[in-house]
Structure 1
Amino acid sequence: MGSILIRGAKLADPEKICCERLDLLCRNGVIEKIEKNIQDPADKTVDAQSLALLPGLVDMHVHLRDPGLTYKEDVFTGCRAAAAGGVTSLLAMPNTKPPMDSPALVEELLQRAESACCRVYPAVCITKGMKGEELAPFMELQKAGAVALTDDGRPVENSLLMARAMKEAASLGLRVVSHCEDLYLSQGGLMNEGAVSRELNVPGVPAASENAATAREIALAESYGVPIHICHVSTAVSAAMIRDAKKRGVQVTGETAPHYLLLTEEALRKKNADWRMSPPLRTDEDRKALLEALRDGTLDAIATDHAPHSEEDKADFYRAPNGSIGMETALSACYTALVKTGYLTLPELIAKMSLNPARLLKLPGGTLRAGGPADFALFDENRRWTVDRDRLHGRSKNTPFHGMSLSGKVVMTVCRGEIVYQDG
């Protein structure tokens, strides 16, 4: 593996919530030293005086489409996109084809991922086949390598089944990750239900769909004294319910995604399916509420919900599947939305994108410490760039940020002590 010396970078430490200019030396996949003026020889030395040094991001919501839908993305193309965005660990969602509900599928995914340029951790189905009828074999899946449970893409509609899942998962130390949607309320909706949907005469998804499902998950967690993690929070009401529940001591955590921090339902006026996602882009009032929920600690994490689709899939606005890609643009988008605007400092942002997700999922990484894994990124805070979908590194190009100018750019990513991405 060799050794790499990063010299003079501004260390953005999400544990100490501070920035300090230091050197970092890694050798054979492990951080050996973090201190001033390291004099040890190294195979490669990087002058990082103008750059910030961050622990590798931990993206806890990624659709790799592998197996079965690899014309959209696969382990290797997805991990290349991850590396270009400073992501060194990711949680792979299980709504693949077939769904990730057997130990054999988990083991096969992990075998493929061994040579990928990012650490891949499998989330597996809560219910067999994601049909919502019978629980998957959690213990066997955990032994095979699963670290979380979700039927993401669909909610578990049966409350009794969800309660059983949450209790069994808690006994195993697994995190249940919930897609909160009331399918009866959202049926047929293509965008947020509101002024813009009515003006365009496009069927809408009401905020109540997410809010009602979030309320159920909080009620189950509080009633049974078990944890729940809420995916892709998009509404002000859901954020408020999580805030109130935390004050009561409920074991609820939540994430939102970069697109909910910079974009609103107004983007759908173009009727471009790249801006269609689930849950949908909401109002500016919701967007501002999410920024505040990140600032005050209501929301613990930012995850991309990276959801690749082919050009053909996204060609028809009315028939296209929901979802957008996001790993390569996530850090820049969040830096633009949160750090440049004063909501968070850079170390506080990295806590949401690295430290907290790693802790929630009980993964290594998320920090920069001597003896820890050599997973880190160099980030140019002064770089401004325009997103060009044709220059992104994944297989699919359905980004909602195409043409947008963002602040801050990942210029190098190191995973397992190897340089896996270098700008230019």
Structure 2
Amino acid sequence: MSPDLVIRGGRLACGTAAVKADCLTDCLVKDGRILDVVPHDPDRTYECESVEATGLVLLPSLIDAHAHLREPGQEYKEDIASGLAAAAAGGFGHVMCMANTRPVNDDASITRDMLDIARRSHPHGPRLHPIGALSKGLRAEELAPMADMAQAGCIAFSNDGLPVASAEFFRRAVEYAATFERIVIDHCEEPTMAPAAGMNEGVVSATLGLKGQPWVAEAAQVARDVLLAEYLNLPIHIAHVSCKASVELIAFAKGRGAPVTAETCPHYLLLTEEACLGYSTRAKVNPPLRTQEDVEAMRLAVEGGVIDIIATDHAPHAEHEKEVEFDLAPCGISGLDTALSLVMSLTPGQILSEARVVEAMCHAPGRIFGIPVNRFAPGDPADVVLYDPHHRWVASRETMRSKSLNTPWLGRTIMGRVTAHFMAGRRIV
């Protein structure tokens, strides 16, 4: 069978199953699927479309398990079309978007509208996967109609940035979601301990005279969730883990066989609370950036598999919303454009292995949430990212696709970038 597309001479990323690491390959595509991956022969010719990938790394399209695309209701920050454009440019072929829209995505009609917008704006991908609200209006008073929403296309459920204080309510939500094979994702934050402070409680918060949130506010809720997961024997996914204590609790739970999975974000692997010095609101995020000890713990947890997923927690805000006093600014970092480049910056020094990056940003979220992924085996979807590890670029309005530029890396030089992105063999970047 002859291919209809060949991606020639790229290096297949470590962690894929097709050929040994560091081997230059030709990736053969037929009818939107991987036909074969063979060692590269510069003298071989193909009677089809050919894309030159010399010097580039071939990655599977990534999955972002945690993003905020703001539509409906806050399109001035981001909309589905711009968010998916940023995702495509950043190497993400699938985006799971949170429910804190206006109105909240707590009804099947809203879910269907979001999916329709995504299909019309990006018919060939990236694919949108709405995360439905756990409760009506995110108020944690009444369960959302999760069965209808799952049927409409919600891939999981979460109360997102408004964590559920009642353990009993949260238990019932997990049990209900499990009846139609959906996972609950929890933003772990004890709601009486400086909620959404955006600043870690510690030396830096004291220096700046800001109210901070202690690590125990996150860890206390993680402890509740992992115990419930074990007791119920039902899966719970912990969102954006930021501190060492949470990692230790998750490791403890996994050691006992609890069906717990967890994610962290690039900023928790690269930045400490010191990024907030100078009252930098671009570094204000929830949960807050922590200490160097926490950063080291997060890196070890990702490399060791205690943390399953690296997600962006893409949280776009308009410039005028961030250019206010620190206490008044919203929490959030825009991450779809930059996440892959930032995470891959940790691989040259072996802080993270390339295989773990592929697992944490593609294979693990695909396995946990049931999204088909490309492992470069025959029959897999031909969702392929070409990544140039030597490309230098500056994060700016000219280089980012998101509407919002609220990132601590704005104006900074970043090494490595996506140069092309294919979904089902069709080029989308």
Q: Please tell me the TM-score bracket, short chain as reference.
A: over 0.9
Shift, 1:156, TM fit: 1.3
Matched with 2:7 is: 6
Matched with 1:31 is: 34
Range moving further from structure 2, 166-175 or 176-185: 166-175
TM-score, length basis structure 2: 0.94
Identity rate of aligned residues, in percent? 38
Range moving further from structure 2, 56-65 or 164-173: 164-173
**How do 1:287-306 residues align onto structure 2 when only pairs under 5 Å count?**
287-306=295-314
Equivalences, count: 418
Pair 1:16-2:17 in alignment: yes
Matched with 2:259 is: 251
What letter corresponds to residue 41 of structure 1 in structure 2? Answer: E
CA deviations over 1:182-220 (Å, ceiling 9, x no partner): 110124724111000001101101111101111110111
What letter corresponds to residue 359 of structure 1 in structure 2? Answer: R
SS of the equivalent of 2:193 reads helix
Shift, 1:314, TM fit: 1.0
Q: 1:170 to 1:121 in 2, by over 3 A?
A: same
In 1, the alpha carbon distance for the partners of 2:214 and 2:207 equals: 15
2:405 to 397, 401, 412: 397
What letter corresponds to residue 225 of structure 1 in structure 2? Answer: N
2:190 to 178, 182, 190: 182
In 2, the alpha carbon distance for the partners of 1:188 and 1:168 equals: 28
**How do 1:6-405 residues align onto structure 2 when only pairs under 5 Å count?**
6-16=7-17, 19=21, 20-36=23-39, 37=41, 39-43=45-49, 45-115=50-120, 116=122, 117-187=125-195, 189-316=197-324, 317-337=326-346, 339-405=347-413
Matched with 1:417 is: 425
In 2, the alpha carbon distance for the partners of 1:396 and 1:119 equals: 21
Q: In angstroms, what is the RMSD of aligned CA positions?
A: 1.7
8 A contact 1:190–1:202 mirrored in 2: no
In 1, the alpha carbon distance for the partners of 2:196 and 2:45 equals: 63
Q: 1:344 to 1:16 in 2, by over 3 A?
A: farther
Shift, 1:365, TM fit: 1.6
In 2, the alpha carbon distance for the partners of 1:401 and 1:90 equals: 22
SS of the equivalent of 2:421 reads strand
What letter corresponds to residue 205 of structure 2 in structure 1? Answer: S
8 A contact 1:59–1:89 mirrored in 2: yes
What letter corresponds to residue 83 of structure 1 in structure 2? Answer: A
CA deviations over 1:374-424 (Å, ceiling 9, x no partner): 211001123333333552111111112123333321111112322111xxx
Shift, 1:347, TM fit: 2.4
In 2, the alpha carbon distance for the partners of 1:13 and 1:101 equals: 40
TM-score, length basis structure 1: 0.95
Shift, 1:42, TM fit: 1.9
SS of the equivalent of 2:246 reads helix
In 1, the alpha carbon distance for the partners of 2:402 and 2:424 equals: 21
Shift, 1:35, TM fit: 2.0
CA deviations over 1:148-174 (Å, ceiling 9, x no partner): 111111111111111011122223211
Q: 1:188 to 1:42 in 2, by over 3 A?
A: closer
8 A contact 2:385–2:418 mirrored in 1: yes
SS of the equivalent of 2:179 reads helix
Shift, 1:319, TM fit: 1.0
